[in-house]
Amino acid sequence: MASPLEIDEVNENKGSMWDLEQKIDQPMDEEAGRLRNMYREKKFSALLLLRLAYQSLGVVYGDLGTSPLYVFYNTFPHGIEHREDVVGALSLIIYSLTLVPLLKYVFIVLRANDNGQGGTFALYSLLCRHANIKIIPNQHRTDEELTTYSRTAFHEKSFAAKTKRWLEEQAFIKSTILILVLVGTCMVIGDGILTPAISVLSAAGGIKVNRPEMDSGVVVLVAVVILVGLFSMQHYGTDRVGWLFAPIVLLWLLLIGGIGMYNLSRFGGNVLKAFSPLYVYRYLRNGRKKSWLSLGGILLSITGTEALFADLANFPVSSVQIAFTLIVFPCLLLAYSGQAAYLVDNLDHYQDAFYRSIPDRIYWPVFVIATLAAIVASQATITATFSIIKQALAHGCFPRVKVVHTSKKYLGQVYIPDINWILMVLCIAVTAGFKNQSQIGNAYGTAVVLVMLVTTLLMILVMILVWHCHWILVVVFTGLSLIVECTYFSAVLFKVDQGGWAPLAIAGVFLIVMYVWHYGTVKRYEFELHSKVSMAWILGLGPSLGLVRVPGIGLVYTELASGVPHIFSHFITNLPALHSVVVFVCVKYLPVYTVPEEERFLVKRIGPKNYHIFRCVARYGYKDLHKKDDDFEKKLFDNLFMFVRLESMMEGCSDSEYSLCEPQNEQSREFMLNNNGNTTSMSNVDFSVSSVDSIVPARSPSHVNVVTFQSSSHCTDIDELEFLNSCREAGVVHILGNTVVRASRDSRFYKKIAVDYIYAFLRKICRENSVIFNIPHESLLNVGQVFYV
């Protein structure tokens, strides 16, 4: 059910004012259309595409490229019985790489990016723009006018429209989609823990291959030291050393491809018959359950595929496709084929197939490059973890943590200190606790396949709502994807007790944290939404609001983008004075990757002019960061002053009156201002709403209540601007609501645990809003209230 609409003001706008508005709107619509076309039709030259394809190697393909370090050992952890098993495993690897990374992700899933952003929450944001499935209903129709708010239209009788209506009517389906997204996000976080562990440990294992007498504990110690160094350097970001990543990964891929060609020429190309799918059938038929269980190891050949999608930012899809098809895919096929050729003649070297297949002359150079490639692969997944947690924060699905932008050039490069140290501790615990690649590999495979399943389920909705695909294509894509992924999932389920429990336990903890936080956030929003104050009550108090209006400006922060929040009434009923100017400030995040700076702020007036009450809505995308500086307050006031000038220009200097009457008979137009000084007018609003949110109490049509405020001719925009400036100089006070959520007495025990303990604990340890908004302590005023759910 749609939330009730709050009527902030009803103005009679006639004559020249309407004409001026139409003139201003027309160029704005044309400009918005031009910008949208620029986003959609951006072209890249062939040379630029090749350069971007080269750069994408270091960011996107590090994880997928280091898989040859550990795949065959995890496929045959107990040894190889027959040479045909090696050929069968190679055949499975070849077709896994072809079906999942190449066909599904590179050529299909990457096209489902959200203006270049990938990952689970990017898909969710894309769906939220095409259907009203967001749990927190804080979007407004003006948000759809953003240049980055792109979405496709469809016919009302189409299958997409029917699916959209079905999703919007089912609250259970909305919650299910959100839980799916949270599960995928938690598995990506698990990926950020397990990738560094298995990649670095596998690379460091090369020391023991060349020095067999060395104890395994030394290898683990070396891996731990590398991991500590890796996580300790995260606060510098990847901007300074990112230029090294692409040449490292390119050199690594060329090396493993060259070593594969060397082994094929040395041990014969008989294994190339694995390109026939017949050997997949033979392998599974002959080995039965043992071959089935080995799928958990073969699954590791496609790890990093989800990171490929999550790290898509800053690269056009075509460049990523070129890099994979021309470099990554051929090099990986050569690397696995070469290892298979070596193993056929050396069945007892299954534990260290990669390092033992390296020619002696280049062993140590390859070891160094392997270690560097493992670090790059780890860095890519850690960065993806930071990015997806930032997206979860914007959707209200993660506790407030400190987010630092590490690059001025790239919007998506962020560093989250608290998460970084948690990842480091868990990563070291996994590395030192499991000690061998096999158990870590089982854990890794579980996390990877679950993320893939979540992506497949979300892609079904994307294909219907966004792409408008025919249902046959949707069924084909879904069927093929689920056959492959469910097959792998069934294999990893048998290894839950052999390390597969680790990502499930980690994801379970993060899922509880994220879901409980989101539940508390939704309940707090619903409390504000349903307890907001009627404008009739505000207007009944008169221009002074029944208080002494003292010089200054009060910024009242609220999560509501419309209506007067409950904390305001709580404030004025408990204190004898109020500031001369009141601005309700709403900072909200939209399901878009970014909001252009010139479109960030929306300003409007609430009530008559002599009340001096305004609203400012600051909009951000899930990649944007609320900066810790004075720019926010400065831009807010700049927009407020510009709004006053523009409003006066529209109305003229003649007398004007504000008429307030029954909402059933009136319509209003709201004039909003963006950073360019341009206006955006909202479409006419139907005011047939419940009496709770009306300007005046609901009465029968025969009892129309009209309140008229006459403004004198000398009250010009100059006077009001001077008044606002003098109030600003007198001081600005930031008023924040501190809503405490508690479970009611008759709640079930699990609800009491979730709300009174888990959510309360998370609220206690997370960052305060005053810190996020960079509010000076001496200018802060907290208004407390308790809400029972």
Compute the CA torsion angle 722, 728, 729, 730 (nearest 10 deg): 110
Question: What is the rounded average pLDDT of the residues 453-476?
Answer: 93
Kindly state the average pLDDT of the residues 285-301: 90
Mean pLDDT confidence for 697-702: 30
The residue with greater pLDDT, 687 or 583, is: 583
| Mean pLDDT in residue range 18-43 | 39
Selected residue with higher pLDDT from 540 and 761: 761
pLDDT digits (tens, 9 = 90+) for 32-72: 444 444 443 345 578 888 888 898 888 888 889 999 999 99
Residue-level pLDDT at 737: 80
What is the tens place of the pLDDT at every residue in 474-525? 999 999 999 999 999 999 888 888 888 888 899 999 999 999 999 998 888 8
Cα 390 to Cα 135, 271, 406: the distances in Å are: 18, 45, 13
Average pLDDT, the chain: 80
Which of 85-89, 245-249, 533-537, 695-699 is predicted with the least confidence, judged by mean pLDDT?
Answer: 695-699
Q: Are 750 and 789 in contact (CB under 8 A)?
A: no
| Whole-Å CA distances, 299 to 24, 373, 519, 582 | 58, 20, 35, 59
Band (pLDDT 50/70/90 cuts) for residue 718 is low
468: left (phi over 0), alpha (psi -120 to 50) or beta: left
**Side chain identity at residue 66, one-letter code:** T
Q: Would you say residue 14 has pLDDT above 60? A: no
Res. 249 pLDDT band, cuts 50 70 90 = very high
Q: Residue 94's pLDDT is what?
A: 96
Instruction: Give the per-residue pLDDT at 216.
Output: 79
Q: In whole angstroms, give the CA distance from residue 720 to residue 722.
A: 5
In this prediction, residue 474 carries a pLDDT of 94
**Residue 697 confidence (pLDDT) above 80:** no
Size of the chain in residues = 789
Find tokens 């997806």 and name the residue. Answer: 388
Spatial distance between the Cα atoms of 121 and 592, rounded to a whole number of angstroms = 10
pLDDT band at 241 (very low <50, low <70, confident <90, very high): low
pLDDT at 603 > cutoff 70: yes
* 588, β-bridge pairs: 619
Reply yes or no on whether the pLDDT at 657 is more than 70.
no
Mean pLDDT along residues 542-562: 83
Report which of residues 255 and 668 the model is more confident about: 255
- φ/ψ of residue 605, rounded to 5: -95, 145
For 33, 238, 249, 423, 545, the CA distances from 242, given in Å and listed in that order, are 35, 5, 11, 21, 57
Output the pLDDT for position 343. Answer: 94
Whether the pTM exceeds 0.75: the reply is yes
Supply the pLDDT for residue 457. 95
Q: Which of 15-29, 399-413, 520-534, 616-630 has the highest mean pLDDT?
A: 520-534
Output the pLDDT for position 314. Answer: 64
**Better-scored residue on pLDDT, 69 or 17:** 69
Q: Is 633 helix (H, G, I), strand (E, B) or coil?
A: helix
Three-class DSSP category at 614:
strand
Q: Label residue 288 exposed, middle or buried (CB < 10 Å: 0-12, 13-18, 19+).
A: exposed
Contact by Cβ (8 Å): 391, 122: yes
**pLDDT band at residue 140 under the 50/70/90 scheme:** confident
